[in-house]
Amino acid sequence: MGQHAFTIVTPIQKSKIDALKSILGPIGKNIKGTTKPENWIDFSKYENLHFCCFVVLDDDGTIPVLIFEGNIDGPIADFLDGMIDNNGSFLQVVYSHCKGLPEDAGKAKLLQYLLDHDEVYNTFFLGHPGLTRQQIKRDQHLRNEIETFLDDSPPVPNSSGAALKTKIQNFINPRKGFKWLESVPEMPFNVRYGQVVFWGIVLVVVLLVLYFLAVLFGFTGAAYRYFAFAIFGLIAIYLVWLRYR
């Protein structure tokens, strides 16, 4: 499941800016939901959502816009489709203040409206590449449990790193809440081997450039053989590095 980001930018009807702020403002000031005003939305129930926010930009003299951005696990269309299923009335109310959405827009038209206004992204930061929100929360819980266990345990003088590791493992293994550790999913290929692939491509490009330079300047005979040996030597060194790094 890949990680993706969306940036949905929609122009706001100028006569409805204040009304829109009156809807979104209480949510931003009460994000944990201690009270639930009208048109409330609970983002925490979306298990594949890492982050999102609504921002109204209307103070620079240009066309006022509403920006809805977020980072998610999985396809953007699937996430938005799920939002419409669970909070369609909220989205209808919010985007009724924007231009271009028909008043009688159903689920399909609302979804297409959001997708059409998605500006995508040039880049976005991944704090935990390859990990879903659920995995991140489980890892955080595991870390907190280990830290609490170590803080509450009496210090062991002159204990080795291996002994400390065994102590932590003995604490974790019997606990049912960490059964998921027995089947930790593999990291995606691009996360696990992305750096290797990148430097491999760089090496191939450098070697090709050197080869064409050798041909261009007429390196033949013994000089050419030495050059070929150097190329194969670099490849061999790189393969060894991949094996033992």
So what's the pLDDT on residue 221? 63
So what's the pLDDT on residue 223? 65
Q: How far apart are CA 146 and CA 152, in angstroms?
A: 10
pTM above 0.95, yes or no: no
So what's the pLDDT on residue 15? 93
Contact residues for 153 (Cβ-Cβ < 8 A; gap 6+): 167
Contact residues for 242 (Cβ-Cβ < 8 A; gap 6+): 196
Please give the backbone phi and psi of residue 72, each rounded to the nearest 5 degrees, phi first. -140, 165
Please determine, for residue 111, whether its predicted confidence score (pLDDT) is greater than 90. Answer: yes
pLDDT band at residue 21 using 50, 70 and 90 as cut-offs: very high
**Check whether domain 3-116 has CATH 1.10.150, yes or no:** no
Q: Say whether 225 sits in a helix, a strand or coil.
A: helix
So what's the pLDDT on residue 54? 94
* H or E element in which residue 198 lies: helix 189-216
pLDDT band at residue 55 using 50, 70 and 90 as cut-offs: very high
Please give the backbone phi and psi of residue 234, each rounded to the nearest 5 degrees, phi first. -65, -40
pLDDT digits (tens, 9 = 90+) for 115-128: 999 998 888 788 88
pLDDT band at residue 56 using 50, 70 and 90 as cut-offs: very high
Average pLDDT along the chain: 83
Contact residues for 68 (Cβ-Cβ < 8 A; gap 6+): 6, 7, 8, 10, 52, 53, 54, 114
Q: Say whether 4 sits in a helix, a strand or coil.
A: strand
Are 3 and 49 spatial neighbours (Cβ–Cβ below 8 Å)?
A: no
So what's the pLDDT on residue 243? 60
pLDDT digits (tens, 9 = 90+) for 194-203: 777 787 788 7
Work out the angle at residue 41's Cα, subtended by the Cα atoms of residues 40 and 43, and round it to the nearest 5 degrees: 150
Domain locations in the chain as residue ranges = 3-116, 133-183, 189-244
> What is the per-residue DSSP string for 20-76?
HHHHHHHHHHTTT-SS--TT---GGG-TTEEEEEEEEE-SSSS--EEEEEEEEES-H
Select the more confidently predicted residue: 2 or 47.
47
pLDDT digits (tens, 9 = 90+) for 143-191: 999 999 888 888 777 777 888 888 888 888 777 778 777 777 677 776 7
Residues in the chain: 245
pLDDT band at residue 1 using 50, 70 and 90 as cut-offs: low
pLDDT digits (tens, 9 = 90+) for 59-99: 877 889 999 999 999 999 999 999 999 999 899 999 999 99
Share above pLDDT 70 across residues of the chain, in percent, rounded to a whole number: 88
